[in-house]
Amino acid sequence: MQKLSIVIPVYNTAIYLKECLESIINQTYSEIEIICVDDCSPDNSAEIIKEYAAKDSRIKYIKHTENKFQGGQETLV
């Protein structure tokens, strides 16, 4: 069985994050890694990810040191 990587971009997603993570971890295919990339979200998304990562070793937490903005753009036109 091959491992599937799921990347979740995180910025102000706290209200949806638990539902998202629950949906992924409860799939029948268990050979997954869940990579949550926090783009300096000001809400409590980081705490939610850390809580889930403590319970499930398939969840990896990556936090940017500064906001990278959507798609790497720093300004919107």
**What does pLDDT average to in each consecutive run of 10 residues of the chain (77 residues)?**
91 95 95 94 94 97 78 50
Query: Using a CB cutoff of 8 Å and minimum separation of 24, what contacts does 17-25 make?
Result: 17/45, 17/48, 17/49, 18/48, 18/52, 21/48, 21/49, 21/52, 21/59, 25/52, 25/56, 25/58, 25/59
- Angle value at C-alpha 14, between 8 and 20, nearest 5 degrees: 45
Residue-level pLDDT at 40: 87
Answering whether pTM is above 0.75, one says yes
The secondary element (H helix, E strand) that includes residue 73 is none
